[in-house]
Amino acid sequence: MDDPFAEAGAAAAPLELVLRAAGPYLDGLPDRRVHDRSADALLAELDGPLPDRGDGALASVERLLEIGTRAATHSSGPRFFHLVVGGSTPAAMAGDWTTSLLDQAGGMWVASPLAAQVETTVLRWLKDLFGIPLSYGGVLTPSATLAHVTGLACARTWWGERHGVDVASQGLAGLPPMPVFSSGLVHPSTRKALQILGHGRDTLRTFARDDIGRIDLAALEAALAGLDGAPAVIVGNVGDVHGGDSDPITDLADLAARYGCWLHVDAAFGMFAALSPRTSHMTAGVERADSITADGHKWLNVPYESGFSFIRDPALQPRAFGDWGVPYLPEAGGDQVNYNTLGPESSRRARALPIWATLRAYGRDGYREMVERHLDVAAHLGVLIEQDPDLELLAPVRLNIVCFRYRPAGVPEDRLNDLNTRLGEALLADGRVYAGTSTYRGMKVFRPAIVNWRTTPADVELLLQVLHELGPTLVREP
């Protein structure tokens, strides 16, 4: 097979292969191992030299499906608790397929009024869902990291202007370091955004009052007072990835107002706490932030890649990212929007379509019910752990993260980190349930995230069952 034009008359045929494979694959997710390492050997069959003469669309896609459905990590299933990864709701997945089918250039109104209008709509819906003022600007991004880049680039523009410099035009040369302060809950993606923006990931200073990383407000205020009025950026965090802790955003907003600071809030998955009266206190004060970051491919349960950034002053976005100055990229007029002037991407797919589909399908009530169901499942897991003599709950279950470790009787403290490390490796190798390990307060821990729309109490019960099967064999090892 040579030129794809030869297949123009049967362009939908490969899609029919995917559709036929989708039903059995999706229906089988609840019974599949999350990952089957024996299938990793198939990956070599996708490698090899670039062919001179291709196989044709049907043969190519058929082979990809055959290997992919077996060798993939089935993170859309109900027992993937690793890395705070949501699945895709049925509506979101269909919306994503529609995105590929229509293949819109989503950056400019002239290229796709559809993509631009749907993005405008979903940003308004998301602000409404989270309780963010509708006056805020926004843009969809591929991830929370790029949403951080968006928010912090606007902060950098604001900061530069207070030093009399247009950093988008003139850069950072000659300026002092931009002060960025946070708690010990700060996520590495915030540091990565600062690295990308040229501020350096290690310039961020943290103020923590304990080994969990909770904010030391007095120390933070002393640092702000020591700046003698110079502008700074405060980063607040909602939903820590280990114990679900959050910074007191209202207190940080008060400090930002008192000292003339920019407040950036990382609420990658924690923003969804706003949907339930049981947890909405965690997001109190977010509506006062200057920039807010959240993820869609976490608790919104839309396909990768999806993030969003909201900016209090929408005029900062085009100052940070716009002004192309070339005739073939026309400016938008009237109510038209060019989203490639409001965020870091120039070429962008119409990633608003799956968000529109899922929000239209399930609405505010459906998402609130899902979040509260996940809160119940996480609380159920926490109770089971507390009742289990071989397990130790290491943080209260505040949200959807459950932090614990395996601690059977007779194993000394100095062996527990190694034991839990090996148990984590064994759990992933087993593949029935996926839950990663991390280090929390010096301890090796499990931190399953309950975030997939399919997850039920039976799925987290299986996690403990598998740990109890694997754990004793590791304890007996020399």
Give the model's pLDDT for residue 294.
97
Q: Is the pLDDT of residue 477 over 80?
A: no
User: Quick one: 332 and 207 in the same domain?
Assistant: yes
Q: What is the mean pLDDT of residues 317-339?
A: 87
Q: Is residue 424 situated within a structural domain? A: yes
Among candidate residues 314, 348, 382, the one where a domain is terminated = 348
Q: Is residue 330 situated within a structural domain? A: yes
Rg (CA), the chain: 24
Among candidate residues 300, 318, 348, the one where a domain is terminated = 348
Give the model's pLDDT for residue 314.
97
Distance CA 107, CA 437 (A): 38
Domain that holds residue 151: 104-348
What percentage of the chain reaches a pLDDT higher than 70? Answer: 100
Among candidate residues 324, 348, 372, the one where a domain is terminated = 348
Q: Is residue 66 situated within a structural domain? A: no
User: Quick one: 367 and 278 in the same domain?
Assistant: no
Q: Is residue 299 situated within a structural domain? A: yes
User: Quick one: 166 and 210 in the same domain?
Assistant: yes
Q: What is the mean pLDDT of residues 106-116?
A: 96
State pLDDT tens for residues 405-439: 999 999 999 999 999 999 999 999 999 999 989 99
User: Quick one: 291 and 426 in the same domain?
Assistant: no
Q: What is the mean pLDDT of residues 375-380?
A: 98
User: Quick one: 189 and 338 in the same domain?
Assistant: yes
Beta pairing partners, 140: 308
Q: What is the mean pLDDT of residues 202-221?
A: 97
Q: Is residue 148 situated within a structural domain? A: yes
Residue 333 vs residue 44, higher pLDDT: 44
User: Quick one: 316 and 367 in the same domain?
Assistant: no
Q: How confident is the model at residue 171 (pLDDT cuts 50, 70, 90)?
A: very high
Q: Is residue 82 situated within a structural domain? A: no
User: Quick one: 179 and 283 in the same domain?
Assistant: yes
**String of DSSP letters for 276-331:** STTTGGGGTTGGG-SEEEEESSSTT---SS-EEEEESSTTHHHHHH-----TTSPP
Give the model's pLDDT for residue 478.
59
**Residue showing tokens 């064994």:** 426
Q: Is residue 210 situated within a structural domain? A: yes
Q: Is the pLDDT of residue 323 over 80?
A: no
pTM of the model: 0.96
State pLDDT tens for residues 64-78: 999 999 999 999 999
Least confident of 195-199, 396-400, 404-408, 474-478: 474-478
| 3-state DSSP helix/strand/coil % of the chain, to nearest 5 | 50, 10, 40
> Domain containing 413 — which CATH number?
3.90.1150.170
User: Quick one: 226 and 278 in the same domain?
Assistant: yes
Q: Is residue 157 situated within a structural domain? A: yes
Q: Is the pLDDT of residue 1 over 90?
A: no
User: Quick one: 191 and 268 in the same domain?
Assistant: yes
Tokens of 293: 């970051």
Q: How confident is the model at residue 476 (pLDDT cuts 50, 70, 90)?
A: confident
Give the model's pLDDT for residue 333.
81
State pLDDT tens for residues 275-301: 999 999 999 999 999 999 999 999 999
Q: Is the pLDDT of residue 170 over 90?
A: yes
User: Quick one: 192 and 243 in the same domain?
Assistant: yes
Number of domains in the chain: 2
User: Quick one: 258 and 202 in the same domain?
Assistant: yes
User: Quick one: 188 and 300 in the same domain?
Assistant: yes
> Domain containing 123 — which CATH number?
3.40.640.10
Q: Is the pLDDT of residue 455 over 90?
A: yes
Distance CA 207, CA 217 (A): 8
Give the model's pLDDT for residue 461.
98
Tokens of 64: 């990809």
